[in-house]
């Protein structure tokens, strides 16, 4: 009751002040407000009005000097503009050639905080894992969105932390490191991968293949979860929460930089990439397209202002296959580009491996219905079910970033050029986010940088994705790794330069190189596409490229994404008498699919002048009831539905935390002997 009286007093004082100067005509509007993390003010049109004026003052009201007046022109709404956590009184006036109206009703503008929990932790402290299901749990399909929670498919729990495992796999025989201590931090950074921001209302999506998937249909792998997941409704919000989690960790132990390992977007669309960059820049996000159905009343459709990555953190970008190709699997063509910006939902084959074309049809792929709370898919199914083709509101911002065409035995255009150019349109650092004018001129998405002044560490950002090829038109090629002569020559040149300059080197790519098969299967899984015929699309296989890399003892680490898992793979030297030629490979899981994690890395000089690479997984600190939290539940749910009974007992976090020890040459041991800030306390939490 006291709070209510306080509001009446302050609102009354505000109204007395501003109404005393108002003229009697024309009629005042009626003002309404929708509060949240992104505030929306609107008022009705007044007959004869030539414009409107908005006035607002912060709570608590402190007098006339606190009032801000804004000429709104003929605009009848305002979204955003107010900082998170703030509160204001607001009123609006109409005007015509006789003057200003009385003030409207006064509304309270309450701007909510961003959807991140105050409990920020890494998986060393605490883990997130699915809750076990009984084998007699009712089996449901992907499209049964409302049943995920009912039958427990989406349930998760917090558990104890996952300690660092000290690994010496690539060290000399007999080395334990028991007497060595962490002496100095050389570098601290984070990696994030496979964010897959998707335009869920684009007519050029492949939702059908996942939406219609039955229970257990993805147990042996497949493209179902890549084609559709209910989390596509919440990805901008999850990304925002992950960025805020990075900021919170940065406030404890500052990051030297961050790097994003490809598949920033899902379908090489312009609007998807703008959402991605704008989330990192802290701009207004309108997470819908076309006619923006539900943007005023469906939570996942509502505009919001992203927090933005802390402006002191430089961030860099690597290219992935989804950044370049339709669904990450098919080269763009004139036909596919017309689908992106058209008004008709894609009509494609029921065979997911069939290239979308005017000749391959039979099933409408569907789009998210933004008016439904759970993000139901509409316009999906056999074309025989539809009297007329299902439509959407066309949107030119859905245009493809790729200009490629494969015709008459040749490839024209580029799959990366427009994508790279967009990273220069940013409010964060550095301009281009690794890409320079040289990259634009050469259309080569490879670059190197030294993240820390006076620290002998260099990062090589390698584009190891496939490119349009006249002999390869099917998904197994475009979702694989590939290196052509130009990129191989660049890589060897950079490795030679780094070795000559006495630099420790980290390779950052999208596709990993010969990683272990899974978290539990250590057998190698080659990723580079080298078919016997008609020609090798990658000039090097995994093993051939590894043979090249093992010539460089200063290479300490290869980081990658792509497979949406957290594996760590030792790549030991082929010469046991020279273990310094080995390196570590660390994958970062996807922010899209469970476990929805990113990684933090610390490069540490040890007291015996070996190097330790500390790799730790981090869950976004999602706030209870937020869309980011809902996304986690949906990600777990679809994983279990597609995985079937074999996933019901899986209560693991899918995180992998480790301290990875690397031998250096005597020359590099001497060089780094005095580098690094002292490590105090428990710095890896």
62-109 pLDDT, tens digit per residue, is 788 889 999 999 999 887 667 665 678 999 999 998 899 999 999 988
| Cα atoms in the 13 Å half-sphere on the side-chain side of 377 | 29
Tell me: do 47 and 148 sit in the same domain.
no
Q: How far is CA 40 from CA 37, 86, 94, 112, 307, in A?
A: 10, 14, 18, 12, 18
pLDDT in tens, 576-596: 999 999 999 999 999 999 999
Q: At 69, which CATH number? A: 2.60.40.10
Tell me: do 177 and 279 sit in the same domain.
yes
Show which of 86, 110, 134 is a domain's final residue. 110
Residues of the chain with pLDDT under 50: 1-11, 13-14, 16-23
Show which of 110, 143, 165 is a domain's final residue. 110
Tell me: do 87 and 152 sit in the same domain.
no
Alpha-carbon gap, residue 269 to 537, rounded angstroms:
25
Q: At 666, which CATH number? A: 3.60.21.10
Q: Give me the pLDDT at residue 78, please.
A: 84
> Is residue 293 one of the residues assigned to a domain?
no
Tell me: do 573 and 604 sit in the same domain.
yes
Q: Give me the pLDDT at residue 36, please.
A: 65
pLDDT in tens, 231-286: 999 999 999 999 999 999 998 899 999 999 999 999 999 999 999 999 999 998 99
Tell me: do 104 and 149 sit in the same domain.
no
Tell me: do 221 and 257 sit in the same domain.
yes
Q: Give me the pLDDT at residue 227, please.
A: 93
> Is residue 619 one of the residues assigned to a domain?
yes
Alpha-carbon gap, residue 252 to 357, rounded angstroms:
52
> Is residue 51 one of the residues assigned to a domain?
yes
Dihedral angle sign, alpha carbons of residues 478, 260, 603, 445? positive
Tell me: do 345 and 223 sit in the same domain.
yes
> What one-character DSSP code corresponds to residue 623?
P
pTM, two decimals, is: 0.86
Long-range contacts, stretch 420-424, CB < 8 angstroms, 24+ apart: 420/319, 420/445, 422/270, 422/273, 422/274, 422/277, 423/277, 423/317
Tally of structural domains, the chain: 2
Q: Give me the pLDDT at residue 20, please.
A: 47
Q: Which of 72, 37, 28 is nearest to 53 (CA)?
A: 72
Tell me: do 43 and 156 sit in the same domain.
no
Q: Give me the pLDDT at residue 21, please.
A: 47
Alpha-carbon gap, residue 242 to 590, rounded angstroms:
12
Show which of 78, 110, 142 is a domain's final residue. 110
Tell me: do 475 and 585 sit in the same domain.
yes
> Is residue 530 one of the residues assigned to a domain?
yes
> Is residue 665 one of the residues assigned to a domain?
yes
Domain assignment of residue 450, given as a range: 126-287+306-672
């Amino acid at each position: 009751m006291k709070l209510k009286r306080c509001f009446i007093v302050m609102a009354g004082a505000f109204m007395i002040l501003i109404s005393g100067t108002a003229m009697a005509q024309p009629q005042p509007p009626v003002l309404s407000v929708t509060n949240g993390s992104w505030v929306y003010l609107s008022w009705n049109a007044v007959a004869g009005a030539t414009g409107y004026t908005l006035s607002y003052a912060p709570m608590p009201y402190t007098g006339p000097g606190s009032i801000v007046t804004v000429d709104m022109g003929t605009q009848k709404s305002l979204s955003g503009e107010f900082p998170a956590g703030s509160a204001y009184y607001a009123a609006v006036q109409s005007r015509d050639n006789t003057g200003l109206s009385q003030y409207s009703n006064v509304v309270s503008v309450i701007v909510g905080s961003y959807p991140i929990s105050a409990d920020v932790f890494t998986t060393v402290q605490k883990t997130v894992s699915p809750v076990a299901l009984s084998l007699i749990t009712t089996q449901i399909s992907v499209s049964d969105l409302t049943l995920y929670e009912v039958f427990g498919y989406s349930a998760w729990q917090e558990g104890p932390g996952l300690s660092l495992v000290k690994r010496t796999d690539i060290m000399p025989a007999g080395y334990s490191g028991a007497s060595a201590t962490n002496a100095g931090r050389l570098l601290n950074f984070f990696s994030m991968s496979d964010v897959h921001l998707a335009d869920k209302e684009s007519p050029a999506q492949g939702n059908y293949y996942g939406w219609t998937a039955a229970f257990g249909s993805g147990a042996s792998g497949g493209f179902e979860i890549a084609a559709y997941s209910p989390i596509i409704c919440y990805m901008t919000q999850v990304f925002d929460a992950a960025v805020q989690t990075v900021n919170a960790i940065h406030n404890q132990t500052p990051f030297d930089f961050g790097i994003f390992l490809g598949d920033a977007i899902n379908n090489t669309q312009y609007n998807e990439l703008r959402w991605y960059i704008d989330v990192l820049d802290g701009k207004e996000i309108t997470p819908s397209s076309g006619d923006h159905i539900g943007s005023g009343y469906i939570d996942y459709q509502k505009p919001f202002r992203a927090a933005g990555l802390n402006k002191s953190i430089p961030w860099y970008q690597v290219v992935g296959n989804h950044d370049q190709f339709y669904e990450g699997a098919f080269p763009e063509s004139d036909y596919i580009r017309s689908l992106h910006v058209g008004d008709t939902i894609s009509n494609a084959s029921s065979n997911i491996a069939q290239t979308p074309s005017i000749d391959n049809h039979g099933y409408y792929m569907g789009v998210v219905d933004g008016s439904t709370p759970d993000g139901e898919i509409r316009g999906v199914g056999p074309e025989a079910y539809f009297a007329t083709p299902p439509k959407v509101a066309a949107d030119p911002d859905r245009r493809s970033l790729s200009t490629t065409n494969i015709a008459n035995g040749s490839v024209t255009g580029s799959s990366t050029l427009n994508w790279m150019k967009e990273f220069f349109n940013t409010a964060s650092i550095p301009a281009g986010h690794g890409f320079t004018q040289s990259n634009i001129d050469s259309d080569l998405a490879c670059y190197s940088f030294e993240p820390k002044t006076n620290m002998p560490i260099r990062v090589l950002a390698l584009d190891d994705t496939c490119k349009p090829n006249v002999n390869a038109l099917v998904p197994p090629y475009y979702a694989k790794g590939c290196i052509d002569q130009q990129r191989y020559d660049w890589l060897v040149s950079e490795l030679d330069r780094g070795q000559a300059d006495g630099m420790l080197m980290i390779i950052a790519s999208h596709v990993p190189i010969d990683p272990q098969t899974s978290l539990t299967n250590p057998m190698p899984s080659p990723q580079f596409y080298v078919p016997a015929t008609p020609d090798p699309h990658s000039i090097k296989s995994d093993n051939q490229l590894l043979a090249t890399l093992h010539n460089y003892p200063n290479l300490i680490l290869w980081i990658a994404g792509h497979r949406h898992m957290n594996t760590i793979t030792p790549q030991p030297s082929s010469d046991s008498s020279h273990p310094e030629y080995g390196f570590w490979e660390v994958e970062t899981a996807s922010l899209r699919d469970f476990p929805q994690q990113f990684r933090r890395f610390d490069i540490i000089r040890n007291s015996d002048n070996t190097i330790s690479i500390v790799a730790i997984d981090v869950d976004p600190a999602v706030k209870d009831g937020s869309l980011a939290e809902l996304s986690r539940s949906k990600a777990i749910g679809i994983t279990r539905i597609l995985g079937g009974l074999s996933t019901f007992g899986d209560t693991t976090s899918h995180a992998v935390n480790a301290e990875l020890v690397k031998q250096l040459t005597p020359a590099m041991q001497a060089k780094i002997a005095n580098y690094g800030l002292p490590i105090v306390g428990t710095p890896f939490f």
